[in-house]
Amino acid sequence: MIEFYHVYKQYIKNQFAISDISISIEKGEFIFLTGASGAGKSTFLKMIYKEEVPSRGQILINSMNLNLLPDNKLYKLRRDIGIVFQDFKLLENRTIYENVAIPLIARNEKKAIVDKMVINALTLVGLTHRRNYFPTHVSGGEQQRVAIARAIVGNPKIIIADEPTGNLDTELSINIIKIFERININGITVLIATHDNNILKLFPKRILRLDKGMLVSDIGIGGIS
């Protein structure tokens, strides 16, 4: 569960990137976060995994108050959150298999467990047949699927994606959102920032709209208008 209580973020004095946002997102919800460039979407997402901290207000993730979470306990938060970036952030000199395995190797999982979990994640995104390829040898849509596999491989409770379809055409974008729907069926909370209105129309979900840092609407399944 994700809870914001009167959250503000200022990078620069007197300018609010996020302004007085209070919101509650239940386990297993599928949320689109939308708004123009500069509206505060990335800042909103970064505060959930404590890449940025609020200037005022409180954020609770699965009842963990992030203001009270010391840096040496950050791993407790991050192991519950999978993050997908628009530019994929894949390691070019590692195979697709190795890229997906990174979060598991970082937490010292045994080789047999790594193998099982990586293959599960690659199966979910339909890429087991590409596991020995290098990222530069597959298409942009496939690279994004590798990034999604890497985000889900550790069984997180929340998946966060910042403009995951920003570099893809409409058909590939639809395929990517369908993968997030499959992930969501397993009870994982999915939170996707997008300014793609086509996607918002095609997939009826709860939509949080930001404008100049303010939450100006919250509509759709589970939301209020």
Q: Which residues bind ligand ADP (CB under 6 A)?
A: 11-12, 17, 35, 37-43
Q: Which is nearer to ligand ADP, 26 or 51 (CB)?
A: 51
Rounded to a whole number of angstroms, the minimum distance from the CB of residue 35 to ligand ADP is 6
43, 50 in Cβ contact below 8 A? no
Please report where in the chains the tokens 């369908």 appear, as a residue: 178
Rounded to a whole number of angstroms, the minimum distance from the CB of residue 216 to ligand ADP is 13
Q: Which two tokens stand for residue 191?
A: 């939170």
Q: Which two tokens stand for residue 94?
A: 């590692």
Look at the chain and count its residues.
Answer: 225
Q: Which is nearer to ligand ADP, 39 or 101 (CB)?
A: 39
Q: Which is nearer to ligand ADP, 16 or 97 (CB)?
A: 16
206, 32 in Cβ contact below 8 A? yes
Q: Which is nearer to ligand ADP, 2 or 122 (CB)?
A: 2
Q: How far apart are CA 34 and CA 50, in angstroms?
A: 20
State phi, psi for 118 to the nearest 5 degrees: -65, -45
Q: Do strands 189-193 and 30-34 pair parallel, antiparallel, or not at all (unpaired)?
A: parallel
Q: Which is nearer to ligand ADP, 50 or 131 (CB)?
A: 50
Rounded to a whole number of angstroms, the minimum distance from the CB of residue 212 to ligand ADP is 8
Rounded to a whole number of angstroms, the minimum distance from the CB of residue 24 to ligand ADP is 21
Q: How far apart are CA 162 and CA 153, in angstroms?
A: 18
Rounded to a whole number of angstroms, the minimum distance from the CB of residue 115 to ligand ADP is 36
